[in-house]
Structures are given as C-alpha cells and as structure tokens.
Amino acid sequence: MKIAPSILTADFLKLEEEIKSIEQESDYLHLDVMDGHFVPNISFGSHVLSGLKRITNVPLDTHLMISNPIDYIKDFAGINSSFITIHVEANKVKETLDLIHSYGIKRGLSLKPKTSIEELKPYLSELELVLVMSVEPGFGGQSFMVDQLDKVRELVRLRDEHHYNYVIEIDGGINFNTAKLAKEAGVDIAVAGSYVFNAKDRNEAIRGIK
Ligand SMILES: O=C(CO)[C@@H](O)[C@H](O)COP(=O)(O)O
Ligand SMILES: [Fe+2]
C-alpha cells in the first residue's frame, strides 16, 4: 500500500522544510483544497501550491473539496499534479472529469461518508482513482469511520468484475492500526495527515504504516 501524507497538518510558515521532512518515504503528497462552501473550512489554493514541483520530486495528489471544481481545473492543472480528484457531490462532475483528462492528468472521484457507492457507478469506467472518505471532509485529525471499508470492498469487487482501471485511495483517520484494516480491505493508497505530521519521527511513522 502506498502512502500519501496530507500537508493539511503541516506548518505553513515553513512548508518547504515540512515537505523535506516527509519526502523520503512518501509516495505522493496529498493536497487538500477547501473552499469554505463545499466544506466548512478554507485551506489553500493553486497559487500556494504552484511552487511545489520546484522543491520536491514526490508526485502530487490533489483533492478538491470545492463546489464548482470546473472553474479551477485550469489553475490546478498548472501545478503538475499526477491526480486531480473531485467530489461526486460537486457540480458538473462529468464535464469536470473530461476537462481533467484533457490536460493529461489522472481523474479521481471521491464520495463523502453518507454518499452511496451507487452515485459513483456512472463514472467508474473512466476513472484512474476512487477516493473513499473515511471521515467527514473538511478537517484533519478526525476518527476513522470503519464502516466506509465496505465501500472499498465493493469497489474492489466492481473493478474485478468490469476490469476497471482505478486505484482505490482512502482518506481520513489513518494511523498504524486503521491502515492495516484499509490494506486488508483492498486499499492501494492511504492518505495520512495528522498521524504523520504529529509524529516525532515522521519517516519512521510512514514506514510503520507501510
Ligand atoms: O481530505 C481530508 C480532510 O477533509 C484529509 O486529507 C485529511 O487532511 C486527512 O487528515 P487526517 O485525518 O489523516 O489527520
Ligand atoms: Fe484529502
């Protein structure tokens, strides 16, 4: 299982140093973009992220928790992210996924804990990533919702049955114990924010999860 530390819990006054402190063991850098409308919190936008590629070779994994992602895909395409993930509860899902694809970026689709997997089904054949939220989106440091692993198991089943190409990512409340459950359910990439950034030895924490 790959690990994508979320920089949401990093100290933004020394972001470069913070990224250097985890990049040795990180498979992706997970970037949580929040608009204060789709979720009750505001984080950062493409301008803040635009220099990341100059300071790290770790591939970027962008998670857009915004209501109208179509208006911002051009800006986020400019940061050179490997994946851009939008939410199925956002506006203009199909058009936005097509736009992400037109930039040669891998398309991700996420769902909130209360959203049924049925909502994803029309899009699964065209996705490179499905992101299962294991907390209510908006904040780091929440507890893992173990019932969301049923969605992971169903996504594995659907992928096998229809030969889909997506990887399965899980996001929220990942730590040493919950990562094991995620791996057993079939997760390919686990996002870990507070567990990594609050650890004394961050690379050791990531190695521990792996
Ligand atoms: O997308 C989100 C929250 O909305 C996540 O990526 C969190 O930032 C993960 O933080 P932890 O739950 O691991 O602290
Ligand atoms: Fe996230």
User: What pLDDT score was predicted for residue 151?
Assistant: 99
Range 8-13, long-range pairs (CB < 8 A, 24+ positions):
8/32, 8/43, 8/140, 8/193, 9/140, 9/141, 9/193, 9/194, 9/196, 9/197, 9/198, 10/197, 12/44, 12/48
Nearest to 95 by CA among 123, 64, 124: 123
| pLDDT, mean of residues 82-94 | 98
Nearest to 52 by CA among 32, 81, 77: 81
Token representation of residue 122: 């029309």
Indicate whether residue 3 lines ligand 1 (CB < 6 A): no
Segment 124-140, tens digit of pLDDT: 999 999 999 999 999 99
Q: Which ligand is nearest to the CA of 194?
A: 1
Does the model's pTM come out above 0.90? yes
Q: Which residues neighbour ligand 2 (ion) by CB within 5 Å?
A: 32, 63, 171
* Average pLDDT for the chain: 98
Segment 170-196, tens digit of pLDDT: 999 999 999 999 999 999 999 999 999
Q: Which domain holds residue 7?
A: 2-209
As a whole-number percent, the residues of the chain with pLDDT over 90 amount to 100
E strand intervals along 143-205? 167-171, 189-192
Indicate whether residue 35 lines ligand 1 (CB < 6 A): no
Question: What ipTM score was computed for the predicted complex, to two decimals?
Answer: 0.98
Indicate whether residue 66 lines ligand 1 (CB < 6 A): no
88 confidence band (pLDDT: 50, 70, 90):
very high
Task: State the binding site.
Answer: 6, 30, 32, 63, 138-141, 171-173, 193-194
3-class SS of residue 170: strand
11 confidence band (pLDDT: 50, 70, 90):
very high
207 confidence band (pLDDT: 50, 70, 90):
very high
The CATH number of the domain holding residue 18 is 3.20.20.70
Nearest to 164 by CA among 91, 109, 114: 109
- The domain tally of the chain equals 1
Task: State the binding site for substrate.
Answer: 6, 63, 138-141, 171-173, 193-194
Q: What are phi and psi for residue 165, nearest 5 degrees?
A: -110, 5
User: What pLDDT score was predicted for residue 1?
Assistant: 97
Please provide the DSSP assignment of 92-123 as one string.
Answer: -HHHHHHHHHHTT-EEEEEE-TTS-GGGGGGG
